């Protein structure tokens, strides 16, 4: 009943899982300022107790005692000063967000908003303003003649606000630099892989399917999605445990990040206990909502990184695209190191309980580099850098993926018209391709491509 009285924007947090709620709150502007405001209220109480109740001016040097009238004037003046700095900060924030949205990607906005340095800067301004405002309210009519704690703390907070303003401007301009943006996006994706995917999935993965209860699989019961939207989060640990108790195997027909319509097949199940299953229980373990999130979706992070390169190509900024390709190549190494490409998740008894949609390193390569090469089209400089980055990736990963990378690179240059490419562009492109052919053991195929660019008359 109480929840219904709250605004809809607040009610949604009560319906989220703990993990999802934490993620969503960290993506808002008011999350960190809220704690700073609470801290400022605590400081108001402490300083007023020290000055009004304990009267610490009796135990301090006369130098630190400030007349009540001067204290009121100081606090009232700093209210306007801190408010002005806060206004300039918010204006700078809006400029940064507008620039991100127009030049890079509108999906980058949340990354800047959720950055801890941005949150702390806004929190300091709001907390300091609330402090001087409340202090002015309580000392306005007091008959106390001298103050010590209030003016000292107020001056300290004003100094903190001025330093924070400079820090925030430096932070915003630094964050907007291309290499910092791409590096931030790469680290964000790596964090998803290391902290989320490894914790949620890798400990349960197994290469061998084992007993898949094939005799009962023909009678698998489908479960449709309870609403339309993006699959945001799956509680794999709980699902595996519940499937073990119910003695069933659950198979997914969509993966995290996919958009699904209401009643589309989401999962199906079979096994000895399939006749007495609470389907709603399993539906509640899969969070579906109106937007994509990065909690378990590594591909969304790759999309955002690729989108920076695509935007830069449209803005005739090849250096940004090149930097993004390099960061994407490094991200591919993280994917190869920490993700096991097997769809089978087993329980503590080594019985497969959950079957995911099959993924491969090739799908991640396509998500990372495929979108960029599509928009690069006839930009031979970017295509050359793309092939060179694939060659570097091939040198650093397992040889089982070499053939796939070679085929991806060959497919990338298939559309290039040999008659319209500049001589030096042709030379550097073939050099990058030759390096890849040596790593992957495809020298013979390379020579046939070489002859396409330099045919024998």
Last residue of a domain, one of 112, 147, 176: 176
- The C-alpha atoms of residue 183 and residue 206 are separated, in whole angstroms, by 32
Q: What percent of the chain has pLDDT over 70?
A: 89
Nearest by Cα to 252 from 214, 227, 282: 282
Nearest by Cα to 93 from 109, 107, 78: 109
Q: Is residue 241 part of a domain?
A: no
- The C-alpha atoms of residue 196 and residue 367 are separated, in whole angstroms, by 19
- The C-alpha atoms of residue 126 and residue 74 are separated, in whole angstroms, by 18
Residue 138 has what pLDDT?
Answer: 83
- Backbone φ and ψ for 284, nearest 5 degrees, come out as -70, -15
Average pLDDT score, the chain: 84
User: Do 323 and 182 form a contact (C-beta atoms < 8 A)?
Assistant: yes
- Distance from first CA to last CA of the chain, Å, rounded? 84
pLDDT tens for each residue of 277-310 = 888 999 989 989 888 877 777 777 788 888 888 8
pLDDT tens for each residue of 391-447 = 999 999 989 899 999 999 999 998 887 667 888 989 999 999 999 999 999 999 999
Q: Is residue 387 part of a domain?
A: yes
Helical (H) or strand (E) element with 222: strand 221-224
Last residue of a domain, one of 119, 148, 176: 176
Same domain, 316 and 446: yes
What is the tally of helices (H) and strands (E) in the chain? Answer: 21, 11
- The C-alpha atoms of residue 313 and residue 104 are separated, in whole angstroms, by 11
Task: Determine the angle formed by the axes of helices 178-191 and 318-338, rounding to 10 degrees.
Answer: 20
Sorted by sequence, the CB contacts under 8 Å of residue 35 that are 6+ apart come out as: 123
The answer, yes or no, to whether residue 382 has pLDDT greater than 90, is: yes
Residue 229 vs residues 225, 266, 316, 355: alpha-carbon distances, Å: 9, 12, 35, 22
- The C-alpha atoms of residue 395 and residue 403 are separated, in whole angstroms, by 12
Query: Hey, what are 297's tokens?
Result: 């979706």
Same domain, 170 and 311: no
Name the 3-class secondary structure at 353: strand
Torsion of CA 193, 199, 200, 201, to 10 degrees: 80
Residue 249 has what pLDDT?
Answer: 93
Average pLDDT over residues 10-36: 71
Q: Is residue 183 part of a domain?
A: no
Task: Give how far the C-alpha of residue 161 lies from the chain's centroid of Cα atoms, to the nearest Å.
Answer: 29
The answer, yes or no, to whether residue 95 has pLDDT greater than 70, is: yes
Residue 19 has what pLDDT?
Answer: 63
Query: Which of 56-60, 104-108, 260-264, 281-285 is predicted with the least confidence, judged by mean pLDDT?
Result: 104-108
Task: Give how far the C-alpha of residue 406 lies from the chain's centroid of Cα atoms, to the nearest Å.
Answer: 30
Torsion of CA 215, 219, 225, 231, to 10 degrees: 10
Q: Give the count of domains, the chain.
A: 2
- Backbone φ and ψ for 276, nearest 5 degrees, come out as -130, 65
Q: Is residue 262 part of a domain?
A: no
* pLDDT grade for 5, boundaries at 50, 70 and 90: low
- The C-alpha atoms of residue 279 and residue 267 are separated, in whole angstroms, by 10
Q: Can you give the residue range of the structural domain that contains 107?
A: 13-176
**pTM of this structure:** 0.77
Residue 262 has what pLDDT?
Answer: 93
Residue 451 vs residues 8, 417, 418, 426, 437: alpha-carbon distances, Å: 65, 13, 10, 12, 15
- The C-alpha atoms of residue 30 and residue 35 are separated, in whole angstroms, by 9
- Backbone φ and ψ for 43, nearest 5 degrees, come out as -65, -35
Phi-psi region of 350 (alpha: psi -120 to 50; beta: other; left: phi over 0): left
pLDDT tens for each residue of 152-168 = 888 898 899 889 988 98
Q: Is residue 287 part of a domain?
A: no
Exposed, middle or buried by CB within 10 Å (0-12, 13-18, 19+), for 316? Answer: exposed
Exposed, middle or buried by CB within 10 Å (0-12, 13-18, 19+), for 249? Answer: buried
Residue 195 has what pLDDT?
Answer: 65
Q: Is residue 17 part of a domain?
A: yes
Q: Is residue 155 part of a domain?
A: yes
pLDDT tens for each residue of 9-19 = 566 656 666 66
The dihedral through the CA atoms of 190, 191, 192, 197 has a sign that is positive
Q: Is residue 222 part of a domain?
A: no
Q: Using the structure block, give the residue that is written with the tokens 């949609």.
A: 357
Average pLDDT over residues 59-87: 80
Last residue of a domain, one of 176, 191, 224: 176
| Chain length of the chain | 457
CA-based Rg of the chain, rounded to a whole angstrom? Answer: 29
């Amino acid at each position: 009943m109480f929840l219904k009285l709250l605004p809809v924007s607040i009610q949604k947090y009560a319906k989220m899982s703990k993990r999802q709620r934490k993620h969503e709150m960290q993506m808002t502007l008011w999350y960190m300022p809220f704690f700073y405001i609470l801290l400022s209220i605590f400081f108001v109480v402490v300083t007023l107790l020290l000055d009004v109740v304990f009267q610490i001016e009796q135990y301090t040097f006369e130098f630190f005692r400030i007349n009540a009238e001067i204290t009121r004037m100081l606090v009232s003046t700093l209210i306007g000063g801190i408010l002005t700095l806060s206004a300039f900060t918010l204006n700078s924030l809006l400029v940064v967000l507008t620039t991100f949205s127009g030049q890079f990607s509108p999906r980058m906005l949340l990354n800047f908003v959720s950055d801890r340095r941005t949150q702390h800067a806004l929190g300091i301004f709001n907390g300091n303003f609330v402090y001087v405002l409340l202090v002015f309210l309580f000392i306005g009519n007091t008959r106390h003649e001298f103050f010590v704690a209030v003016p000292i703390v107020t001056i300290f907070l004003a100094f903190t606000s001025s330093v924070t303003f400079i820090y925030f401007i430096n932070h915003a301009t630094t964050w907007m630099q291309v290499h910092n943006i791409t590096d931030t996006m790469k680290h964000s994706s790596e964090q998803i892989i290391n902290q989320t995917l490894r914790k949620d999935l890798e400990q349960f993965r197994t290469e061998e399917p084992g007993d898949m209860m094939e005799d009962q699989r023909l009678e698998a019961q489908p479960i449709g999605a309870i609403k339309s939207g993006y699959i945001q989060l799956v509680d794999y640990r709980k699902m595996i445990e519940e499937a073990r108790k119910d003695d069933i195997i659950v198979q997914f027909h969509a993966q995290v990040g996919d958009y699904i319509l209401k009643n589309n097949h989401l999962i199906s199940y079979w096994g000895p206990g399939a006749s007495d299953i609470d389907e709603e229980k399993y539906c509640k373990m899969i969070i579906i909502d109106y937007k994509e999130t990065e909690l378990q979706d590594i591909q969304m992070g790759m999309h955002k990184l690729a989108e920076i390169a695509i935007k830069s190509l449209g803005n005739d900024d090849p250096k940004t695209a090149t930097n993004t390709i390099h960061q994407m190549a490094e991200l591919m190494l993280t994917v190869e190191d920490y993700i096991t490409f097997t769809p089978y998740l087993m329980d503590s008894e080594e019985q497969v309980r959950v079957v995911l949609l099959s993924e491969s390193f090739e799908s991640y390569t396509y998500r990372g580099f495929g979108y960029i090469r599509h928009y690069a089209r006839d930009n031979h400089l970017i295509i050359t850098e793309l092939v060179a980055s694939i060659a570097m990736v091939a040198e650093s990963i397992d040889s089982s993926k070499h053939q796939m990378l070679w085929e991806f690179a060959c497919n990338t240059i298939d559309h290039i018209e040999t008659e319209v490419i500049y001589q030096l562009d042709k030379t550097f492109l073939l050099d990058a391709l030759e390096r890849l052919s040596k790593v992957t053991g495809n020298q013979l195929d390379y020579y046939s491509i070489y002859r396409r660019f330099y045919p024998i008359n």
